[in-house]
Each structure stands twice: as structure tokens, then as C-alpha cells.
């Protein structure tokens, strides 16, 4: 009786393990286990153009835009579109500010440039929100003037998908 149960159990486990081994893609092998909660309508990462049809320019309220167009999730990407320097429009860029204080003040001293004035052309500059952390985006042109006076800044705190 007990032996029979044990045999059934071992056979069952062997079946499970071989199923898992047969599909051992290191990224998703556990999805093949029968008790793994399958989500058939898992949300795909979004690609969002910053500012929508306004793109990335002086004088648009991006903080307001981010609030209305969020929330964003880890894996989503933001696309910054702006013309390369051409003599008729202001050149722009994209910086990441290190904290909320530098964001408030548009203080670029410890900022990290992630896209220069030429990278917003064509399909735009794409930035993936990879981590669960606040991101503070700003235009770095004219020593912070675009950020301070042109409201070219916004915060994003990507959320985690629990599915």
C-alpha cells in the first residue's frame, strides 16, 4: 500500500522533472510546471512617446503629462523625440538627475547625460525603465534653463507587474 503510493509519487515527480528538463529555457522553464499560475493576458511592455504628439520641446508641462499618462511599469520605454540642431529650433537633450532635490532645482551638477542634442532625431531616443527606482528626467540645455523655465522635466516611478 505505502509502496504503491511511493511508486505513484516517484513516477509523477519523474514526469514533472522530465517535462521541465525538456523545456529548460533558463528564462522561463518554470512556466512549464503545471502549478505555475499561467497568465494568458500578461501585459506587454509599452513604448510611450514623451509628450505624445508634442514630443520633447520647451514650454510643455511634462510633469503634468507624466501624471496623466502613467503609471509606467518596469520594462516600459520612454521615447524622446526632438530635432537635431538645425538653426530654427532649440536643441534639446535628456539627462537623468540623481535625486528629488536636484530635480526641483534643475541642478545638473551630478546629472547623467543619457542623450545628446542629436539623439532625438528619427525614431527618437529610447530609454527603458529597467529598475524599480524613481527616474528624474530633464533637458540639460542652457545650463538647466530649459528644465527650470521650460518645464522640460518630469519624474517617473515605474511600478512592478505582479502577473
57/135 with CB nearer Cu ion: 57
Taking alpha carbons only, the member of 44, 132, 119, 46 closest to residue 80 is 119
127/158 with CB nearer Cu ion: 127
Min dist. Cβ of residue 80 to Cu ion (A): 10
81/146 with CB nearer Cu ion: 146
Classify residue 63 as exposed, middle or buried by CB count within 10 Å of its CB (0-12, 13-18, 19+): middle
- Please give the Cα distance from 4 to 61 (Å, whole number): 71
Place of cell 508634442: 54
Place of cell 530635432: 83
The contact set with Cu ion (CB under 5 A) reads 92, 139, 141, 146, 152
Min dist. Cβ of residue 28 to Cu ion (A): 41
40/88 with CB nearer Cu ion: 88
Min dist. Cβ of residue 152 to Cu ion (A): 5
Classify residue 92 as exposed, middle or buried by CB count within 10 Å of its CB (0-12, 13-18, 19+): buried
Min dist. Cβ of residue 42 to Cu ion (A): 36
Taking alpha carbons only, the member of 11, 55, 16 closest to residue 32 is 16
Amino acid at each position: 500500500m505505502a509502496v504503491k503510493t511511493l511508486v505513484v509519487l516517484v513516477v509523477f515527480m519523474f514526469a514533472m522533472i522530465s517535462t521541465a528538463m525538456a523545456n529548460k529555457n533558463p528564462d522561463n522553464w518554470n512556466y512549464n510546471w503545471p502549478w505555475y499560475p499561467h497568465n494568458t493576458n500578461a501585459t506587454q511592455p509599452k513604448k510611450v512617446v514623451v509628450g505624445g504628439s508634442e514630443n520633447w520641446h520647451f514650454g510643455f508641462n511634462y510633469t503634468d503629462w507624466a501624471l496623466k499618462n502613467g503609471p509606467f511599469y518596469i520594462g516600459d520605454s520612454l521615447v524622446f523625440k526632438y530635432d537635431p540642431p538645425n538653426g530654427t529650433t532649440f536643441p534639446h537633450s535628456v539627462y537623468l538627475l540623481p535625486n528629488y532635490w536636484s530635480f526641483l532645482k534643475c541642478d545638473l551638477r551630478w546629472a547623467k547625460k543619457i542623450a545628446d542634442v542629436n539623439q532625438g532625431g528619427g525614431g527618437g531616443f529610447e530609454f527603458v525603465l529597467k529598475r524599480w527606482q524613481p527616474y528624474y528626467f530633464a533637458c540639460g540645455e542652457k545650463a538647466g534653463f530649459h528644465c527650470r523655465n521650460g518645464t522640460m522635466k518630469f519624474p517617473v516611478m515605474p511600478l512592478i507587474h505582479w502577473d
